[in-house]
Amino acid sequence: MKTTQQANNNNTVNLIADIGGTNIRLALATPDASAAMKVKISHIETYQCEAFDSLTEVLKHYIEEKQLASFRVNACLAIACPVDNDLISMTNLPWQFSQKALKETLNLNSLRFINDYTAIAMAIPLLSEQQKVKIGGGATVAGKPIAVCGPGTGLGVANLVPIKAAGDTQWHCFSGEGGHIDFAPINDTEQKVLNFIQQIKKRVSYEQLLSGFGLEQIYQALLWITQGKEITTVKEKLSAKDITRKAIDQSCEVCEQSLTLFCNVLGSFAGNLALIMDSQGGVYIAGGIVPRFIDYLKNSDFRERFETKGRLSYITEQAPTYVITEEQPGLLGAAAVILQGEI
């Protein structure tokens, strides 16, 4: 590996990571004015988290493997857990560490942790047309806010706003817990689904429908509503992946109804996000679920529900919607954060 090609004139390399509960992806990032994304990501390696005892161990392994020890290493690491405190405890891994101690142990020049969803949001301005699929609306308006939501294990939400400083424009991410906004049904079927879930949950947020677990709950609700059937055994239960597959191949009517309702509710929710900040820069759908059924989403009432906002429908009718298809948005977002001042 010719690491010197990754270094700038200050003998510095930019290390980026996307750290999940199962895998950790590591790479190097350099600015590239000639590229569409204005950034080049190289030397990507994916490791199984369970193969290492700590984050320090896997980072040290990568640094040694890529012969980075002689360089000044700046690191931006996206991680699937809160990063506000020095002590980080991962939700789905027995990894706990101090940010300060990690920087000192690995002799890093700089270290910044960001939430994994912040990373996904920061990737959006760098996406090419080949890394996203448009689902209706007008053209994106440069310099306007961008919203993103991502049905996956949960329902992530973030907003990007351009901020001008010293004559330069940079993107700032405002993340939060928008996925936990109260779910609002708009027809009789959705009201019945809400009633069903309320028998299980004291409070029903959009995340209770717009997530992998949410799709399973929609299926269970519709099975009861349409057929009076209740799932009582593990064998009867369908996973979100099973429901999606059966809906697409039309082998299960309730699965089709479930995925259709999922898409329609997602349209309403995404439209709500567009209204909050007048997101004429676009509303983006991320996460691991929706890219599996983009054509199904297009043929649903997703866009109609997105646009139907009464007197303010003119805002949502114009705002474009996209599904992110880039496979490494976390790495791309981490690169955007670490290189934003150079791009």
Please indicate if the annotation marks 138 as binding a ligand.
no
Question: Is residue 209 within 8 Å of 220, Cβ to Cβ?
Answer: no
pTM: 0.86
- Name the token pair of 3: 């690491």
Please indicate if the annotation marks 18 as binding a ligand.
yes
- Name the token pair of 287: 């996460």
Q: What does each C-alpha distance from 327 to 36, 94, 110, 176, 266 come to in angstroms?
A: 17, 26, 27, 23, 21
Please indicate if the annotation marks 20 as binding a ligand.
yes
If you average pLDDT over every residue of the chain, what do you get?
91
Please name the amino acid found at residue 42: S
Report the C-alpha gap between 163 and 221 in whole angstroms: 44
Please indicate if the annotation marks 22 as binding a ligand.
yes
Could you read off the pLDDT of 57-87 as tens digits, one per residue? Answer: 999 999 999 999 999 999 999 998 889 899 9
Report the C-alpha gap between 291 and 288 in whole angstroms: 7
Determine the pLDDT at residue 5. 44
Does the structure show a pLDDT above 60 at 37? no
From the number of C-beta atoms within 10 Å of its C-beta (0-12, 13-18, 19+), residue 10 rates as exposed
Please indicate if the annotation marks 17 as binding a ligand.
yes
Determine the pLDDT at residue 341. 55
Question: Is residue 258 within 8 Å of 222, Cβ to Cβ?
Answer: yes
Give the up-direction half-sphere exposure of residue 23: CA atoms within 13 A in the CB hemisphere.
Answer: 10
Domains of the chain: 3-114 (3.30.420.40), 178-324 (3.40.367.20)
Report the C-alpha gap between 117 and 228 in whole angstroms: 39
Among 32, 100, 20, 102, which Cα is nearest to 63's?
102
Does the structure show a pLDDT above 60 at 9? no
Determine the pLDDT at residue 6. 44
Higher-scoring residue by pLDDT: 9, 97: 97
Please indicate if the annotation marks 44 as binding a ligand.
no
Determine the pLDDT at residue 340. 78
Could you read off the pLDDT of 114-132 as tens digits, one per residue? Answer: 988 899 999 999 898 999 9
Q: What share of residues in the chain are helix, strand, coil (percent, to 5)?
A: 40, 25, 35
Task: Fill in the DSSP letter of residue 243.
Answer: H
Does the structure show a pLDDT above 80 at 343? no
Please name the amino acid found at residue 213: F
Higher-scoring residue by pLDDT: 243, 90: 243
Determine the pLDDT at residue 34. 62
Does the structure show a pLDDT above 70 at 100? yes
Determine the pLDDT at residue 3. 46
Could you read off the pLDDT of 183-205 as tens digits, one per residue? Answer: 999 999 999 999 999 999 999 99
Question: Is residue 24 within 8 Å of 18, Cβ to Cβ?
Answer: yes
What is the longest distance spanned by two Cα atoms in the chain? 69
Could you read off the pLDDT of 262-302 as tens digits, one per residue? Answer: 999 999 999 999 999 999 999 999 988 999 999 999 999 99
For the chain, percent of residues with pLDDT exceeding 90: 76
